[in-house]
Amino acid sequence: MRGHRVLVCALAAALAGAAHGAEDAAEQEFLREVPTVLTASRLLQPVSDAPVAVTVIDRATIEATGVRNITDLFRLVPGMYVRPGIGIEGIVPVVSYHGLTNEFARRMQVLIDGRSVYLPPFSTVLWDDLPLAIDDIDHIEVVRGPNAASYGANAYFGTINIVTRTPIGGEGAYARARLGSNGVRDVVLRHTDAQGPVDYRISAGHRADDGYPEQIDRQHHDFLTGEADLVLNNRDSLQAQIGYGAGLRQLGGTTDPVNRPRAKKVEDGHLQLRWQRAIAPHDELSFQYFYEQHSATESDHTLPLDLPGQGVQSYTLRADYRFDRHDVELVRTLEPRAELRLVLGAGARVDEIKAPIYFDGRPYLSSNLQRLFVHIEWRTTSALLLQAGGMLEHTSISGVDFSPRICATYHLSDDQSLRFSVSHATRTPSLFEAQGAFVLHFGSLADPIQQSGGQLQPEHIVSSAVGYHASALGGQFQTDLKVYRDHASHMIEETADPNAPYVFQPLTVLRNLNDARVRGAELEIHYQPSAQTRYLLAYANTTIDNSDPSQGRTMPRNLLSLLAEQRLGENWTAGAALYLNGRLPALTGVYGQLNDAALGYQGRIDAHLSRSFYTMGRKARLTFGVENLGSGFVEFRQATTFDRRGFIEGSIGL
């Protein structure tokens, strides 16, 4: 802890000193605007006015990291913990804010262009299955705090909104390929053009890797996506997006007689339509419909088993599932007076699930949701901004819930502001938490693995936060400090039922078990002294007091990230990133066994060097890089140690 304080103070002092020394030259070179965001309140606002802390990962930052996986970008967000999770989907990335999660990361909303990719019945995001290329991302808005007032029950700890590049104004083709250690083989192709009033983009890609050493998690995915934007007249516009992805993901273990090595086939598709009408200046109406589908085909062939009353034989366990979601939403945004803006809307959703193995043979389940929401922004004076909003939701699972939020922002000057906010959010139990029964059948013998305890209540969180945002040197130096306190209650966790009959391991039951108090501070600094140089620092100190001590190992107390990029002349660019995770105590499972020993500080350094050039009149870029210059970066468990990985990447505009 002490080492972190010294390091953060030293880095902050160095950045402040650099800012002071570079002031005159920097102001003459260029000005950097304070980013504007939409996800916090559904109103377009500068981050200094948002009712909650927001981190923006722009396109330049994405390229400066050199990372392959979208999830690695969230290491640059204060308070966000990225790690692998091991569960029924195999080894998959887990992204959480303030921890308190398992491999499903079920307490955060994730959107792509406003479309929820938070899947039933487990309330999770399967990042590797998303049909999305990192090349097609324009920017990412990360709301760091409860956001149910804007996006509903599952925006519990925060919200991620990935905004893709618009095809409007784009023209031409693009190709990128990446080869690297651990069998990394990626290809992305994109074509952007216009035909009459329609601007469109088509992207296709392939991703493959061999996973972690000594683990069975090789995977490959292919995807095809498209977007078309049509201006119907001077008032109306229409946008359509479509995407499809398919792949194979290996999972299982060599020593387990039941959980055998196998490949799971996954498919993911979506259709999204959005119509917008400008009713009058500062008065807009929009309607959105989207359909999301995710499915998996999986067969597990056990070793010969000698089970009571069954004799010695092998079994085939099928874990196929399919999830379908239909969602509609109508939103009105208007500005009745110069000092008053508001957004109000209504929506409905239907989820349909076919997953017999997870619901004890029940072939079909569904749930539905209806919502009303409003957010009001009132600029009482040039210095004081008041905001209030709320979401009223009804679900077939838990009934009616209301999630309010209030915020006051006081501008100390044009470049400094203080933010005071209080919010309440809920998380509706997932269908599996509410009605699930994961049962393996060996002939006539049933082995219950996990099930709902029944009559679960929604989880609740009350969050209070104070924030400070400042901008200096014409926007080249920007910082955001957040101090907060959260109280989460009725948290749904698993507990062992030693009295239930079982074959291989005791049954676990999902119940409202725990309360947790989370408090801490988060610091974010962006410093760009010139168009050639940029620095980004993110630091979080998080203290979790959980009523169940076994749930305390969900994230390190201290997390630090530092990104630096330097252009070397006209054609060369160098970039480096440091990711430092604090200590983790030993991991104890629900049966009391020691799953993993305690971890000390873990550090990872990435570095890359790029050269831009022209070939045959086309702009190209070649990058050489290394992820994790050290010997091994242990991510949560020893079994998922991230080793050194080199790569070479080339891209060209066609």
Phi, psi of 213 (to 5 degrees): -60, 140
Q: Per residue in 239-298, pLDDT tens?
A: 999 999 999 999 998 888 999 999 999 999 999 999 999 999 999 999 999 999 999 999
- More confident: 85 or 47: 47
Q: Per residue in 562-574, pLDDT tens?
A: 999 999 988 999 9
- How far is Cα 47 from Cα 160, in angstroms, rounded to an integer? 15
Q: Per residue in 501-519, pLDDT tens?
A: 888 888 999 999 989 999 9
Q: Where are the alpha helices (DSSP H) in 22-143?
A: 23-29, 59-65
Q: At 153, list the tokens.
A: 């029950």
**Could you tell me which residues come within 8 angstroms of residue 311 by beta carbon, excluding any fewer than 6 positions away?**
none
Are the CB atoms for 645 and 626 separated by under 8 Å? yes
Q: What is the mean pLDDT of residues 471-488?
A: 95
- Given the structure tokens 């080492």, which residue do they identify? 3
- How far is Cα 393 from Cα 425, in angstroms, rounded to an integer? 11
Q: Is the predicted pLDDT of residue 6 greater than 60, yes or no?
A: no
pLDDT of 553: 65
- Strand ranges, E, within 380-427: 384-395, 399-413, 416-427
Closest CA to 603 of 626, 628, 580, 577: 580
- Domain chopping of the chain, boundaries: 2-157+172-580
Q: Per residue in 337-387, pLDDT tens?
A: 999 999 999 999 999 999 999 999 999 999 999 999 999 999 999 999 999
Q: Per residue in 196-240, pLDDT tens?
A: 899 999 999 999 999 998 899 999 999 999 999 999 999 999 999
Q: At 191, list the tokens.
A: 């074509």
- How far is Cα 441 from Cα 498, in angstroms, rounded to an integer? 20
Mean model confidence pLDDT for the chain? 90
Q: What is the mean pLDDT of residues 607-622?
A: 95
- The pairing of beta strand 507-530 with beta strand 445-452: parallel
In this structure, which amino acid lies at residue 565?
Answer: E
Q: Per residue in 520-555, pLDDT tens?
A: 999 999 999 999 999 999 999 999 998 776 665 678
Note the CATH architecture for domain 2-157+172-580: Beta Barrel (2.40)
What is the share, in percent, of the chain residues with pLDDT greater than 70?
93
Q: Per residue in 408-438, pLDDT tens?
A: 999 999 999 999 999 999 999 999 999 999 9
